[in-house]
Structure 1
């Protein structure tokens, strides 16, 4: 059974086309299940749409939910459309986000760390001029945030947990295995999944998030896994699903899962 829990659309400001285009692409790709999970608004901001090229407006959020639910009904029997959202993780605003999400019937919420110390994780300039010790400190802080996100109980999936390497491939070589292991233990204890996210192939680093090395450690600690293409255009829906499934089996995973009504649905590999 093929599924993809991580897709976007035009509302976030940096993805193409409509939600329905992604659903139709999912059918064409042979998916049984597709999750729609566009970027959450910056709910803490006084502005309706802080950073228009990154996330949807607060005033569009209810419309987003309504559209997904309408399309869920329209495509019933052809593909199972799930209501999700990719939520930024801001520790200082977690209760605000929790209270807003509680108003809607989400099948799952992806928790993603997109900023660390107020700077985008994709900003390659954050590494300029840093000593090796400072680089290690920054990487440890990033994984501390990821561990904290798992402990909130708000997320079913954690998004792209080594995406800091996206435009800075040397990130993977920074020594911080202790911090990664601690985060993976917290993730396992919390019962949330990490996604294998194939959008890394669209960035400088190439490949997937997370690396095979992290997936091997995740398998060791009993971390659950899921799949997300992180598609920002319909043509990437389900991208490399078969290759990911094959690699997971080689690493030692026997199953992965998606979520419906916030409950895991296990799919054998």
Structure 2
């Protein structure tokens, strides 16, 4: 029986431009799933159709909790080159956490060496707490080097539930997700599960990610979603 996930930090609202639910709808879904916390992480302005920086700056009006759900202020930024530069700008400093990800809108896949260098470069940014959906076969990389760097920089690696669905545009997510988890187990790195929800009914959905974790027999104590202290580890200052 899988351990219950307590939080979901990878969720999107209509502000991302290609998602379909409001923040209120997402929070209601988090409440229904029994989560203690939900992070909202709309795409940075570099994603076509997404919000401008003033949207993220205005996060300051958020209450700390809504109907008993802790509301966390996040942002998913694009890795824009093979040096690991990001398009979040100075507004990243105002977030409680930042997810950095490779998206085809911002960077075309390179060689395994280039993609690895891009991800590790992003980890060096002190505002980045999570590297998103590393399970996309379109972006081959050296998972051992990525996992070792994550341990060194204190960054969590995401096992993305959306990547494991049949509807995903990413390639071979289950295969690469297993490899990521296997390397994380060897090098004692932290994994965070994220729904990557673009519609309210996917908020808090971790079922496919948990199947991969069980298949690999990955230690529960290295899954950050399972404890309050895991959440605080992500939110700490690097």
TM above 0.5: yes
Match of 2:37 in 1: 33
Match of 1:191 in 2: 154
Match of 2:120 in 1: 147
1:66 positional shift: 3.8
Match of 1:244 in 2: 209
- Is it true that 1:57 corresponds to 2:52 in the alignment? yes
Aligned residue-pair number: 221
Q: CA–CA distance in 2 between the matches of 1:17 and 1:244?
A: 22
Contact residue 77 and residue 101 of structure 2 kept, 8 A: yes
1:2 positional shift: 2.0
CA distance 1:60–1:209, shift in 2 (3 Å): farther
Q: CA–CA distance in 1 between the matches of 2:179 and 2:10?
A: 22
Gaps of 5+ in 1: 43-49, 122-136, 265-269
Q: CA–CA distance in 2 between the matches of 1:238 and 1:217?
A: 25
TM-score normalised by the chain length of structure 1: 0.71
1:96 positional shift: 7.5
Match of 1:101 in 2: 92
Gaps of 5+ in 2: 225-229
TM-score normalised by the chain length of structure 2: 0.79
1:95 positional shift: 8.0
Match of 1:13 in 2: 17
CA distance 1:210–1:155, shift in 2 (3 Å): farther
Match of 1:89 among 53, 56, 79: 79
SS of 2:128's partner is coil
SS of 1:85's partner is strand
1:152 positional shift: 2.3
Compare CA radii of gyration and give the structure with the larger one: 1
Q: CA–CA distance in 2 between the matches of 1:111 and 1:95?
A: 8
SS of 1:23's partner is helix
